[in-house]
Every structure is written in structure tokens, then in C-alpha cells.
Amino acid sequence: MDDMRVALVFKKLQLIYVPFLLLSLLFVSGYSLLHWLLLIKLQLVSIDESLVNFWLPMLLPWPLLFFYLRPRLKLCHFTKSNSRFIYLLIASLLLAVPTIVAQEYLNSATGKLTQLDSINELSLQPQTKYYQLKQFYIDKKHIGVQRNIEPVGKGNSELQMSLYVAMPIFSRRSESWREGAKAIAWYGKHYQQTISNRLEKHEKESLYQEFIYQSQQEFNGFNPDDFVYLDRIGPSSRYTQLLTAAQKSTVYHDAYQTILMPVNQPFEARNGHKLAWMLGWLSFGAILWLVMSLMLTLDGTQLAPKALAAKLTTAEPKAVLYAFLAEFKPRSGFVITPILLLSNVLIFMLMVFASHHFITLPNSVLLDWGANLRQLVLDQQVWRLISNVFLHGGLMHLMFNLYGLFFAGIFLEPLLGKWRLLGVYLMSALAASIASISWYEATISIGASGAIMGLFGVLSMWIWMGFLPLASHMLLALHLTLFVSASLVMGLLGGVDNAAHLGGLVSGLLLGCVLRPIALNQMHKKPR
């Protein structure tokens, strides 16, 4: 018996643990190598830094894991069909996080420091990331300024005020006086402050004027010559804003668009602790996945050599893609949830197509498509109380809510039935929207999280009442705790509509009490 247990442990390590470990090392190193070769070494394309350093590392692990790891997880027993999805979700994060840290380390570690006798030599030297200047003059008179105010956070509950200042860099002071002078490069300065979007209009205006005044005072006393070296920033929203500021200066020329930011630390310290963080995350992932692998139970019927080979060779791209899509296909006991999932995705795609934004959608687009706002609801646009639930402010907002809806729906719909689940979803959404406009006067609210919190409220009440025994639903209880806690804590930190979360959660708890007898009857009707 002991020999059998040891053999099963080694089998799990062979089938589940070691392949993931190799995949994580290959993904981090392979992605970093392509980043260095295509974008840093050869400079073949110019891509927004946020896409390369964050979004692609977050999204690319999914197809790799689905085609490679999912067939191996199908060799194991799972108490719920979505447990396999949870393993894939955690695996994707264990690949993404160290890759994101690795890109930050790659950018700083591979960046070369070029010594320039004069800023005029900038266009004569190969482009590098870092520069030191011997002879230069940073002109604080011919500056360009770009002001920007935009709502941030979930529900746009805050306003971010930004002031971008671009200062022309000349070789010497006399060059800035010359008629028709044009700057070779630009020195960037950024001021930023965040205030509540719930304030009255006159309060916002007062705080904005104070922000501009304080920024002006700080700029007047600021010495631009006080830096150790300069960092050339690549394509990003910060670069776009600073370039826009530079274009407003009288000494701007389209041929010179280099933006440099000051760094006031030794060049040797540029990497910080990034490498240690990357190795730490890889080690943490290896240990966590080892524990998760040992918790799995292998299906003995799948371990015969022929059956195992057949199982692992079914990862043909077309077959695996169809299998993935089948997870979201309506079927008996799982009808409304996939329809809601696909509806949210479809509406988001239409919004992206209409606005040409997908990471963060503008405030005006959200309002045009039916976002929740007290003033508009009181102006007889009551439909916004429901329409806002199908809108999302960006890609990560959508992905987070899709995960929560899928997880809650796959547990809850078989117990409630499709129409009752839809009723709980819409009633919780309505309660969340009413709570939001009751609490916030001028906050734009969007997203399915209030309705999802209602579904989680039902499940939480049933676990507390003993209808779903905690011992056999530990995974469900753990994810309920994590999702609800994360949502509420993010609300306390700002930028998230906690009123909608609490409204949906309270509604779900109450509905859980009302619907328990119906769900109990539904469970008894199931064939054994």
C-alpha cells in the first residue's frame, strides 16, 4: 500500500508538477528573450510599454496552459467541474506575475548608459535608454504644458488631475535665445493629484486651482539640473502626454521627439530588487504548485499507458479550442450563466469597436451606453439601473467579473434553476444600482460585480445555514471569502463602488434565506 502511494505521488509529479515547472521557466525566459530581441536589441517595432510589460504576460499564459496543462488536469478527479478552471487560473497567475517582474528587470538591466558631451550629439549616437550629459541647458521659459483631468477607479469615483511639463534641452543657454531655435530633446516633469469625484462642482474647481497653484510654486523652485542621469521613456500614455505638452512649445520640431526623465540615484542601483522579486515569485509558484499537485487525486482508469497516451495527445489545437468553448456552451443545469457571460463579452466588444479603446474605456462612452448616474436616473432614465450591469470599464474589469460570474453560476444554477438564477441576478443588480445612486451623488457606476455579489450572498447564506456543508464545499467557501473580501477591501482603498457591492451582497443574503426551501426541493428531485 505504501509503495502504491509513493508511486502515485511520483506519477502526479511527473504528469502535473514537472511539466508546469518547465512551462513556467520556458514562458518567463522565452517571453523575455523575444522582448529583448524584437523590441530592445533590433527595435523592429514600437509598442506601448504597458501592453508589453503587463497585458501580454497576463493574457498569453491562458492558451499555453489550456493546450498543454488542461489535458493533464483531466487525468484527475475534481469535486466540481470548475475546479479545473480554478487550477488553470492560479497557474496563469503563477506564470504572469514573475514574467511581469522580469520585463521590468529586463528594461533596466539591459539599458545602456551613453555619455554625451553635448545634447546635440543625441541624434548622432545609437539610441540607448539612459544618458549622461556634460554640457546642456534645460530651458524653463519655452516650456510646453498639458493639463489632464480624468475619472479613475471602478465607477469613476475619483478624479485624477495631472500636469505634464516638457522643457526643451539645448546645448547651451545662448542657443535658446537664437531665432528659430529648435530643441533636440525634452526634459519631462509630471505633477499628479487624486481627489474624490463625489465632491460638489465648486469644491472640485477649488481643489483643481489649488493643485495648479501648488504645482506652479514647486516648478518655480525646481532645479532641473539636479539629476544623476536621464531615462528615455518609450511608447506609453506618459510619453504621449509629455509629447503633447512639447508640441505646444514654440521651439518644438517634429524631427525631435525624445522625452527624457531625470533619475536621482546611482546608475548601479537602477535594478533595485527586481531580480530577487522575480526569483522569489518563481520559487513561491513552484512551492504552491507542488502543494496543489499533491492535493489532486489521479483517475486510475486513465493511467494505463495506452489510455494515458491517448489522453495527452488529444491536445490538438482545434479539439482543445472546441473543448474550451464547450465550457461556456448552454447545457442542462447551466443555461443562463453562459448566456450572461457571452452577453457581457459581446457588449464589451461592441463598446471597444465603437470607442477604439479596450484597456480603459472613456467616461463619455460609458454614459452613452447606459452607465448608472444619479442625476440621469432621476431624470427618468430608470433603465440605467439595469443597463449598467452589462457594461465594463476595461479589459481587466471584464475578466475579473467573468470569473466571478462563471464560478458562482456553475454552483448556483443547478440548485436554483435557470429562471430563478436570472431573477436573483437581476434583483441583486437592481439593489446594487439603487444602493450606488443612494450613496454617491456624481459617481458613474458600471459592472456586473453588484449582481455577482448577490449570487455569492446566496451561496454564503446557504453555507452558513448548513444547506451546503462546509466540509464538502471548502473550495467554494475559500473562493467566496477571497472574492468578497477582495471586492470590499478594494472599495475601502478607493476607486471601487462599495455601495453597489454591499447592496448586491445584502440582497443576495436575504434571497438566500427565501430561496433555501426551493433549492432543497430541487436537490431532492435530482435522480440519484
* Integer Cα distance of 93 and 70 in angstroms: 15
Residue 509 CA, distance from chain mean position: 29
| Residue 430, C-beta contacts closer than 8 angstroms, at least 6 positions apart | 385, 386
CB-CB contact of 504 with 460 (8 Å): no
CA angle, 171 as apex, 248 and 181 as ends, to 5°? 40
Q: Which residues pair with 170 in a beta bridge?
A: 137
255 phi and psi angles, rounded to 5 deg: -75, -15
Helix (H, G, I), strand (E, B) or coil at 128: coil
Helix (H, G, I), strand (E, B) or coil at 116: strand
Catalytic residue from among 249, 449, 487, 507: 449
Centre a 10 Å sphere on the Cβ of residue 26 and count the other Cβ atoms it contains.
12
Longest dimension (CA), the chain: 91
Q: How far lies 389's CA from each of 47, 370, 450, 492, in Å? A: 33, 9, 8, 21
| Residue 209, C-beta contacts closer than 8 angstroms, at least 6 positions apart | none
Q: Which residues pair with 133 in a beta bridge?
A: 116
Q: Which residues pair with 144 in a beta bridge?
A: 166
CB-CB contact of 203 with 448 (8 Å): no
End-to-end CA distance of the chain: 32
The H or E element containing residue 227 is none
Question: E strands along 136-283, which residues?
Answer: 137-138, 144-152, 158-170, 185-196, 229-232, 259-263
Active site residue 81: no
Active site residue 501: yes
* Integer Cα distance of 482 and 90 in angstroms: 13
* Integer Cα distance of 398 and 345 in angstroms: 8
* Integer Cα distance of 317 and 350 in angstroms: 27
Tell me 14's DSSP state: I
Q: Which residues pair with 189 in a beta bridge?
A: 165
Residues annotated as catalytic (active site), given as ranges: 449, 501
